[in-house]
Amino acid sequence: MTFPPTPPLFRPPLPSIVLEHPDFYVVNKPPMWLTHQGRGRVDVPNVLDYLKWELGEPELAPPHRLDRETSGAQLFSRDADAARDFFTLFKDRLLTKTYLTLVHGHPRWQSQTVDAPLDFLGLSESNAVIIRQGVVPGGKEALTRFEVLGKRVHPQHGALSLLAALPQSGRLHQIRAHLSELGLPMLGDKIYGRDPAAFVAFMDGTLSPQQHADLILPRQALHAWRLEFGWAGAQMRVEVPLSVDMAGVWREAG
C-alpha cells in the first residue's frame, strides 16, 4: 500500500521516535499537537493518528496524555498486553516523569516540595477561567518536587529560571498551579501566568500585541523531559532534549 504525501494537517514540526522497543515507542511530541484526537478538535494535528498513518500499527495507544501545548516524551504502547502493563505502572505510580519548565523569577531555594491539595477554584469576580485549579482545603492530594537547574537574566524579559518538576500525583494543571502557588509563573502560561486576563482574551481572539509579547512564548513553557520505569526486568530511562522554542529563550538569557 502506498501512502499519500504527508497531509497538510500533519504540519511540521512532526513527531519523531526517540526509542523503539518491541512493546512500545517513546515519541518526541511537538508543541501544539494533541496526544490523540479530542472531541471536536479535528482541526488540530494529533500524534496517535500520525503514528498510525506513518507506521501502519493500528493497535498503538497512549497510556498517558500530554496537554496540547506541552512538548516532549510521550509513550505509545504497541499492543493490548503492553497497554495493560502500562496501565498498572501508572496506577501503582511506578513510572517517574520529569518535566522541564521556564519560569519568571529566581527562587531562593535549590529544591522545594509542594504538598498542597488542588481543585477547581470556581468562577468569581477574581477568576473568569472555569478550569483554573488552585490550592483548596479538602481538595485532591497533589505533590510536586521542584529543582532549580539554572538561573539567568534575559536582556528583554528579566530574571528567568530553568526548573525540573517531578509530579508525584497527576492532577489537572498540577505543575502550573503549584508554580503559581510558589509565585513562579511559567512563561507562555495563559491561565496561571502573570496576566490573569490572558486566557479569556486568547479564547476570544482579542489577545493584544502587548499580551503576546509579555507571554514570551505562544505556548506554556513545559517540556516532558525524562521517563523512568521498569520493563521486562530492565530499568528504562529515556530523555528528550529540550524543545527548540524553550531552548532558544534560555540561550538568549545566557
Q: Which of 95, 89, 74, 99 is nearest to 24 (CA)?
A: 74
**Which strand (E) or helix (H) includes residue 166?**
strand 158-167
pLDDT of residue 4: 47
Q: Are 30 and 219 in contact (CB under 8 A)?
A: no
- Residue 245 pLDDT: 97
The residue to which cell 523503539 is assigned:
20
Return the pLDDT at 12: 85
Residues 6+ apart with CB under 8 A from 137: 117
- Domain 1-92 maps to which CATH number in 3.30.2350.10, 3.20.20.140, 1.10.620.20, 3.30.360.10? 3.30.2350.10
pLDDT at 57: 96
Which residues have CB under 8 Å from 128's CB, separation 6+? 196, 197, 199, 200
Q: Other C-beta atoms within 10 Å of 105: how many? A: 16
Q: Could you tell me which CATH class the domain 96-254 is placed in?
A: alpha beta
Domain coordinates of the chain in residue numbers? 1-92, 96-254
CB 61 within 8 A of CB 76: yes
Which pTM value belongs to this model? 0.93
Each residue's pLDDT expressed in tens, for the chain with a length of 254 residues = 444 455 557 888 999 999 999 999 999 999 999 999 876 666 789 999 999 999 999 999 999 999 999 999 999 999 999 999 999 999 999 999 999 999 999 999 999 999 999 999 999 988 999 999 999 999 999 999 999 999 999 999 999 999 999 999 889 999 999 999 999 999 999 999 999 899 999 999 999 999 999 999 999 999 999 999 999 999 999 999 999 999 999 999 98
Asked if the domains 1-92 and 96-254 are classified in one and the same CATH topology, the answer is yes
Angstrom distance (rounded) from CA 251 to CA 254? 5
